[in-house]
Amino acid sequence: MIDHKSKLPLHAQVEEFLRKLIAAEKGKMSGLLPKEVELANRLGVSRNTIRQATNKLENEGLIIRKKGVGTRIAERRGLQTGLDHWYSFTREMQEKGIVVTNLRLKVEWTLVNDIIRNFFLIDENKKVLKLSKLKGEASGEPIVYFESWFHPRIGAGDQDDFNRPLYSMLEEKYGIVVARSQEQIKASSAGLMAKRLGVEPGFPVLIRERFVYDVGDRPVEYNVGYYRSDKFVYNIDIKKGSF
């Protein structure tokens, strides 16, 4: 399972292997992972390589290490994301081995508010393509509701296949390469989104407002996501810079 000739670093390969192992072992037996030395011997790598991989998984809250007990799989607190995974919710979940599906999808042309109009620098009477997506588990349980508006310059329309990962479709069909996302995150009650998310109006949700730019720093998309707090965890990994 570990390719020593691959250009992909060994610790990255071990990390991917452990993610799959964690996904397969959740809910089974004790939830304990093999010991560090046992993993190193099985995979033909050093203990330091194993430690590099498990350090990252521990930081993400996927595993818990306890001296004298071993390393066990953490109970899932909900789907997780971070600042380095803003580009595609569907693709990020696929990387974690989690299946999400579009429970509802709607495409329409609408007038926009001042926030979107000023971001796109368009006239107030200009209609913009709007995409609404309710994404959830295969069981039909909602996780997040997205609303996206696209700059008219792109040329996207209601004939496009928005069931595909969004940014892959924009790049392959329209040559739009997204490069930067400016975001604002806040907590709120579900309010008008309660029915869509299958919760009560007072239920807490995470609202993520996103301004997306292409490689030329031109506006591409304005997006708002409403995440159920019981289904989602937002991770932020902050590293100390040089002073």
Lowest mean pLDDT among 26-40, 105-119, 159-173: 26-40
* Predicted local distance difference test score (pLDDT) of residue 35: 87
Q: How do residues 107-154 score in pLDDT, each as one tens digit?
A: 999 999 999 999 999 999 999 999 999 998 888 999 999 999 999 999
* Predicted local distance difference test score (pLDDT) of residue 154: 95
Which percentage of the chain shows pLDDT scores above 90?
40
Who wins on pLDDT, 24 or 76?
24
Q: Where in the chain is the domain with CATH 1.10.10.10?
A: 10-73
Mean pLDDT of 3-29: 78
Sequence-separated (6 or more) residues with CB below 8 Å from residue 202: 189, 190
* CA 92 – CA 5 distance, rounded (Å): 27
Mean pLDDT of all residues belonging to the chain: 83
Is pLDDT at 230 greater than 70 in this prediction? Answer: yes
**pLDDT band, very low/low/confident/very high, at 82 (cuts 50, 70, 90):** very low
Is pLDDT at 236 greater than 70 in this prediction? Answer: no
* Predicted local distance difference test score (pLDDT) of residue 79: 44
Q: What is the dihedral of CA 134, 137, 142, 145, to 10 degrees?
A: -30
Domain 10-73 has CATH 3.60.21.10: no
| DSSP three-state, residue 148 | strand
Sequence-separated (6 or more) residues with CB below 8 Å from residue 88: 165, 166, 167, 168
Q: Where in the chain is the domain with CATH 3.40.1410.10?
A: 79-235
CATH placement of domain 79-235 = 3.40.1410.10
Mean pLDDT of 7-19: 86
**pLDDT band, very low/low/confident/very high, at 162 (cuts 50, 70, 90):** very high
| DSSP three-state, residue 81 | strand
